[in-house]
């Protein structure tokens, strides 16, 4: 390949992209408002959850338990009868119902077995699980204080003071996770779409035939499309991290943006080549869209950006090692969340390079065959 030809073809790609208002608006939307909407709208922590209490004890301890449930995790506790609480759960008006039986405080103070009942609406599983854990912790703390202990944990008669420290996200805010991961997912989506759309656009406008009569090779044409569209995506993602993630949302980026940019450039080798490969199979833009949707959804959902890779079946974890998105997500999380350096992330970069070389070779072979058929 001749660098001069690739550079000139790359400039042509950039001009064609700039002349397409739909793709320009898609890039702007994807790396601005879409990041903000997903980061602030899809929260997984417990916030303002409705709690009701059925207090048959009417004791000082039952009132103390009620007063310990506070915002912002929970809304103000509402007292109900048992029938009202059942109706509220059925209607979805409350998520948690705490039942305090009659004689609860007396049984506890006399050392007799005492029990509490917590009903949970598990329709929203994440909120139900986290909220139930918070409520259990609150109740255990208050019962320990009522029983005359300063803590709720004991072992062998000796008090144990366990200190929990949350690293990298001390407030356990889902906004911090969602914002960065949405940028990474959008990098995957737009890289495939832009590269493939560039080839489809050439075919639909008839300009691919003009390229075939020029002294350029298929490898140079493909390298120009990958380089130009990949450059746009990398620059847009860096600006999104600086302006939207750090500036607007206030999410700290701990690692080196230069190292992230290097990994993103390496990632473009595989995902943009994948877009061109899909474009050689499709004959029109609608067909290309139908091919892209399942590929992008599968790559994003199973890459570890939405759910932990470790929670998937073993065979699926092994299968997803062939996806470049899996390694790029692990690389981005290590660099942007935990501030990892090159000494830690080089295996991920090596995997990206290997997978990218394979996909590029397959896409180039398919692209050459398509060019020959069109010629």
Whether the per-residue pLDDT at 310 is higher than 50: the answer is yes
| 149 pLDDT tier (thresholds 50, 70, 90) | low
Task: Kindly report, residue by residue over 103-141, the tens digit of the pLDDT.
Answer: 999 988 888 888 899 999 988 777 888 889 899 989 988
Q: How far apart are CA 39 and CA 118, in angstroms?
A: 31
Write out the residue limits of the CATH 3.40.1710.10 domain(s) in the chain.
51-159
| 151 pLDDT tier (thresholds 50, 70, 90) | very low
Q: What's residue 373's pLDDT?
A: 66
Whether the per-residue pLDDT at 218 is higher than 90: the answer is no
Q: From the options 3.40.190.10, 3.40.1710.10, 3.40.430.10, 1.10.357.10, give the CATH code of 51-159.
A: 3.40.1710.10
Q: What is the pTM of this model?
A: 0.81
Whether the per-residue pLDDT at 300 is higher than 70: the answer is yes
Q: What's residue 155's pLDDT?
A: 41
């Amino acid at each position: 390949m001749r660098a001069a030809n690739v550079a000139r073809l790359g400039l042509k790609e950039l001009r064609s992209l700039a002349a397409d208002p739909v793709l320009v608006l898609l890039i702007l939307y994807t790396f601005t408002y879409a990041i903000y909407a997903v980061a602030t709208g899809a929260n997984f922590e417990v916030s303002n959850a409705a709690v009701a209490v059925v207090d048959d004890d009417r004791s000082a301890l039952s009132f103390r338990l009620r007063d310990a449930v506070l915002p912002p995790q929970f809304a103000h506790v509402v007292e109900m009868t048992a029938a009202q609480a059942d109706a509220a759960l059925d209607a979805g008006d409350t998520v948690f119902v705490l039942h305090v039986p009659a004689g609860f405080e007396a049984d506890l103070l006399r050392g007799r077995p005492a029990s509490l009942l917590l009903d949970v609406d598990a329709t929203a599983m994440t909120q139900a699980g986290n909220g139930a854990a918070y409520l259990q912790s609150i109740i255990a703390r208050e019962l320990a204080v009522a029983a005359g202990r300063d803590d709720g944990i004991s072992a062998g008669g000796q008090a144990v003071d366990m200190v929990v420290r949350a690293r990298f996200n001390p407030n356990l805010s889902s906004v911090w996770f969602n914002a960065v991961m949405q940028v990474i997912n959008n990098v995957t989506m737009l890289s495939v779409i832009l590269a493939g759309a560039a080839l489809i656009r050439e075919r639909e406008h008839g300009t691919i035939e003009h390229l075939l009569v020029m002294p350029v090779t298929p490898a140079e044409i493909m390298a120009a499309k990958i380089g130009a569209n990949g450059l746009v995506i990398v620059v847009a993602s860096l600006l999104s991290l600086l302006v939207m993630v750090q500036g607007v949302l206030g999410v700290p980026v701990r690692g080196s943006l230069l190292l992230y940019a290097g990994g993103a450039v390496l990632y473009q080798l595989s995902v943009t080549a994948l877009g061109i490969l899909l474009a050689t199979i499709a004959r029109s833009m609608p067909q290309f869209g139908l091919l892209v949707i399942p590929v992008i959804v599968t790559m994003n959902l199973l890459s570890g950006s939405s759910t932990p890779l470790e929670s998937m079946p073993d065979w699926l974890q092994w299968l997803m090692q062939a996806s470049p998105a899996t390694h790029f997500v692990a690389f981005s999380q290590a660099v942007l969340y935990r501030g990892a350096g090159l000494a830690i992330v080089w295996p991920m970069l090596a995997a990206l390079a290997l997978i990218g070389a394979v996909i590029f070779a397959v896409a180039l072979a398919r692209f050459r065959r398509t060019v020959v058929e069109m010629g």
